[in-house]
A and B are shown apart, each in its own frame.
Chain A
Amino acid sequence: KQEVTQIPAALSVPEGENLVLNCSFTDSAIYNLQWFRQDPGKGLTSLLLIQSSQREQTSGRLNASLDKSSGRSTLYIAASQPGDSATYLCAVYGRGSTLGRLYFGRGTQLTVWP
């Protein structure tokens, strides 16, 4: 069964810092990997989707990379702002018999202080 791990579990940084969130998964036979943001008590907002044939995706201050062979993805946030404070979830899409399933990590809780 696919296991997704996110490190660190929590991160507190001052405004303006560049930071990296890590995600690892046990089964490299994935289709896509997606990064989400979740504010307390709210739903999930999609940040970036990386298809299995891609190595990275960028959106504004966010850059996500994918290395299937090592089972890792990173989310890079440039020039962090207090509004970036949220929980960031990494999820991988199943394939074959697990098609339609999203396997989530437990998230990294990010606090950016002014």
Chain B
Amino acid sequence: DTEVTQTPKHLVMGMTNKKSLKCEQHMGHRAMYWYKQKAKKPPELMFVYSYEKLSINESVPSRFSPECPNSSLLNLHLHALQPEDSALYLCASSQVLSTDTQYFGPGTRLTVL
């Protein structure tokens, strides 16, 4: 099973809302990633967790808060977002933090009103 699942598929939120995106994998991978992708652009790395510890934070604004409660689950908590944060949010995982193949989920389409 090489599947990464993400929920919800679509999310619409106001600028004062708090919401969370969820990502799950059951491949035994110990590295998990959040990417942000705007239309017609390539994915941009946001965060990387390795063995449930935050390993990379690409200077992402604090209104995005990642969490890795266990080795299978990755959350992205959203608070006080701006309309320009509207994008496709992709989760990925790999065996370990190295050059192993990253497997991507289907993404969550986020719209901030």
Q: Which residues of A contact B (CB under 8 A)?
A: 31-32, 34, 36, 41-46, 49, 51, 89, 91, 93, 95, 99-102, 104-107
Contact A100 B42 (CB under 8 A): no
Main DSSP-derived SS at the A contact region: strand
Other A-B pairs, 12, CB within 8 Å; known A101-B56, A102-B45 = A34-B102, A41-B88, A41-B107, A41-B109, A44-B90, A45-B104, A89-B42, A99-B97, A100-B31, A102-B102, A106-B41, A106-B42
Residue B98 interfacial (CB < 8 Å): yes
| Given known A43-B90, A106-B42, contact A100–B55 (CB-CB < 8 A) | yes
The 8 A-B pairs with the shortest beta carbon distances in the complex, nearest first, are A104-B42, A31-B99, A44-B104, A43-B106, A93-B99, A43-B104, A100-B97, A32-B99
Interface of B is mostly: strand
Q: How large is the interface on B (under 10, 10 to 19, 20 to 34, 35 or more residues)?
A: 20 to 34
B101 touches A100 (CB 8 A): no
Instruction: Please tell me if the beta carbons of A34 and B101 are within 8 angstroms of each other in the complex.
Output: yes
A43 near B55: Cβ-Cβ < 8 Å: no
Contact A43 B101 (CB under 8 A): no
User: Is B81 part of the contact surface with A, judged by Cβ < 8 Å?
Assistant: no
Name B105's closest neighbour in chain A (CB-CB). A43
